[in-house]
Every structure is written in C-alpha cells, then in structure tokens.
Amino acid sequence: MAVHLVNGRVLVGEEFVDGVTVRLEGERIVAVDADAKLRDASATRHDLRGAWLVPGFIDCQVNGGGGVLFNGNPSVEGIRRIGAAHRRFGTTAFLPTLISDDAATMRAALAAVDAAIAQGVPGVIGVHLEGPYLAPARQGTHDAAQFRVPDADEIALATSLRGSVTLITLAPERLPVDTLRALQAGGAILAAGHTAATFEQMRTALDAGVRGFTHLYNAMTPLQGREPGAVGAALDDRDSWCGIIVDGHHVHAASLRVALAAKPCGKVFLVTDAMPPVGSDDPAFVLYGETITAVDGICRNAAGALAGSALDMAAAVRNSVGTLGVSLAEAARMASLYPAQFLGLASERGRIAAGMRADLAVLDAGLDVVATYIGGVREQVRS
C-alpha cells in the first residue's frame, strides 16, 4: 500500500521545499511532487506537521549503542540492538565497527554481519574493520598487541563479505602496497587512520587507492609547516573523503571549519564513533578488559584518554549547524548523501528522490528526531 508523507519541509536536492508530497511504495520512494499532483485516496497519509524531512543518516563508524559493544557481542542480536539504538537518532544505515581484535573475533563479527543482512536486520549495510592493521605510535585506545600485517588468509577473511560494504581503516605505511591492492581487489574500501604516516607515505597510499580518512585529525600525524603529515595529505587531496566527529571534544571547531574550507564540497562527512552509552542509560562499558565511562558526553578510560564517543548522528547534525555554521541542508547531506557517495551507495541512498530507498528521518524544530523510516517502515520516536 502506498504511503504519502505530507506537510513536511522536504530536502529535495540542494534545498528544503514546502508543498510537496513524498510517495512511498514498499521499500522505495516512487514520487516527489506537488501535493496537488499526488492525490490518491487509497494511500495512507502521514502528516509531518511542518517538520523537516531529510534522508536517513548513514553512519560509517558505529562501535556500539544500546549498551552493546560490537567487539564484546559480535552477533546478529548485538547488531540488532546497536541498530535499534541509533535508529532513534535518525541513523537508518550503519556499519557495525569492530575495533582491533584477534582473527577469531573478526571472523565472528563478519559472520554476524553477513547473517544480519540475510535476516533483514534494519539498517545494517556492511562492516567497518577499524584495525588491526594500525600504527602503535597512534594506537589511541586500541590494543597494540592485536596489531599485525595481514597474510593472504587474513586478507581473504577481511574481504569475505559479498554484496555489502567492507570498510577497512588501516595505517598504510605499515602495509606493503601489494597488500593494499589485494584488500581493494577483494572489494574493501580503504581509509587511513591510526597512522604515523608522513605526507609522502600518505601520498603513495592515496595513489595506491586509499579513498578516505577515518576521524580526521584524531590518531594521525598532524599538519605542520615543513611536514604536512597525514592531515595535510587529507586536506590537500581533492578526491578523498574525510570522516569527522563533531562532538565538541574530539576536534576543535576551528580545525573542522578549516577542513570544510580546504576540501571540495561533499568530501567531508559525519561519523559518530559511537560507543555503547548511545541510546542506553548505562554510561559505562568494558573495552579490552578496561572500564570506559561516559561523563558529560565524553567517553574516557581511567587515564583520561578519549575512547570513542557518546555522540549520536542527530546531535552531530545539530552541532554542525550550531558550531560549524553550515546550513541544515548541508549538515543533512554530510550525514546522508556524502557518506553514501564515499561507500559507493549513492545510486539508492542519501537523497529524497524517486527510485531511492525509503530511508528517511523526520526532525522537529529543535532538530530532534520525531520518526524514522527504514525501507518504508516507520518508527515513531516521539510524538
């Protein structure tokens, strides 16, 4: 049965428009047209009452949510709970993210993602392996004891998903170029992160096919006058994408504005790097046997180091508008269209247009999520 979304302020292309109806049939948007042109008495009518209608958010880096850490619960049920928690904040597609771990945990995580997709768990579109091919000098809260260079068997394991997205964050200076190419040949999208690479090493990696940068500025060599480092390579390169964490803690707002000014429009997108406290009443969780606690929206270990975030994507959009000075339309694209382009999914995700998946988020005047749609299925978040 058709569903008509009416009385919304709809993000169509570059701007929000009023007076249009969005028609859904099953999992797809089939029409976006003037209200008068889409009159169908048999269609179910959802009155948005003046709310903003944006494409559903796509989060490339979700370590956990709803009290679940993917490393600690690499199962279909774990993925389901993580997705349900983030859906309340407008995320309609996500990559469960496995932090550096052993091969057995990686195998379990990949099997869980494969099964979750086969079972139709809402929102899951693949996996993000954040490590274990990282640099000890930029380990962050990762366990450096897990760091390694993959052999042929592990390359086959890391790229074993078929028909979905595999994103791998790695320190490219730690891997031979032939290994980078083998991972890509297996279908993986490669991003640089937790890296001590020089500018020249990063330039070599970009030429070898690295497509993006994971949480720009964090855990990578900084931009300096005589050594641009990984950050300088990211900002100088026009073709690569950069994920950013806009939580007011990971990166200063001025540095993020510099990135937006340096990169071509569309090459910077939002991620949460979210941990289990998102969508949960419990602020604490265990990572590598250590208790991490979220206090005032910041996840830290006992030594005070950042350990992921307590950020949700709706808050990232609000922060982008409030602290980075971008328009709501641009912030929404940073959370939907641009990650879809990075992941190669823009033909069916990230826009409100005929033929696209009916993955949508409804935002109130304060940019809080009112409702979401995943494949046309509505979930009411608040009245």
- For residue 65, what are its two tokens? 């949510």
**Residue 151: partners with Cβ closer than 8 Å, 6 or more residues away:** none
Distance CA 352, CA 337 (A): 10
Whether residue 252 is annotated as binding a ligand: the answer is no
pTM for the whole structure: 0.97
| Residue 226 is labelled as binding a ligand | yes
Task: Given the residues 273, 281, 359, 368, select the one marked as catalytic.
Answer: 273
Residue 130 among known ligand-binding residues:
yes
Percent of the chain with pLDDT over 70: 100
Task: Give dist(CA 259, CA 315) in Å, integer.
Answer: 20
Reduced to 3 states, what is the DSSP secondary structure of residue 201? helix
Q: Could you confirm whether 207 is annotated as catalytic?
A: no
Q: Which of 315, 308, 312, 244 is nearest to 278 (CA)?
A: 312
Identify which of 159, 75, 173, 68 has the alpha carbon closest to the alpha carbon of residue 121. Answer: 75
Confirm whether residue 348 is marked as ligand binding.
Answer: no
- The 10s digit of each residue's pLDDT in 15-27 is 999 999 999 999 9
pLDDT exceeds 80 at position 134: yes
For the segment 291-315, what is each residue's pLDDT rounded down to a tens digit? 999 998 899 988 888 999 999 999 9
DSSP assignment, residue 145?
Answer: G
| pLDDT score at 31 | 96
- 68, two tokens: 């679940």
Backbone dihedral angles phi then psi of residue 47, each to the nearest 5 degrees: -85, 115
Name all domains of the chain by residue range, CATH numbers in brackets: 2-54+351-380 (2.30.40.10), 56-343 (3.20.20.140)
The model's pLDDT over 241-297, given as tens digits with 9 standing for 90+, comes to 999 999 999 999 999 999 999 999 999 999 999 999 999 999 999 999 999 999 988
Q: What is the pLDDT of residues 193-249, one digit of tens each?
A: 999 999 999 999 999 999 999 999 999 999 999 999 999 999 999 999 999 999 999
Ligand-binding annotation for 141, yes or no, is: yes
| DSSP secondary structure, 54-82, as one string | EEPEEEEEE-EETTEETTT--SHHHHHHH
* pLDDT tens by residue, 45-76: 999 999 999 999 999 999 999 999 999 999 99
Local confidence band at 369 (pLDDT 50, 70, 90 cut-offs)? very high
Q: Do the beta carbons of residue 30 and residue 23 sit within 8 Å? A: yes
From residue 378, alpha-carbon distances to 27, 211, 372 in Å are 11, 34, 6
For residue range 96-116, what is the model confidence (pLDDT) as tens digits? 999 999 999 999 999 999 999
The response to whether 306 counts as a known ligand-binding position is yes
238 labeled part of a ligand binding site: no
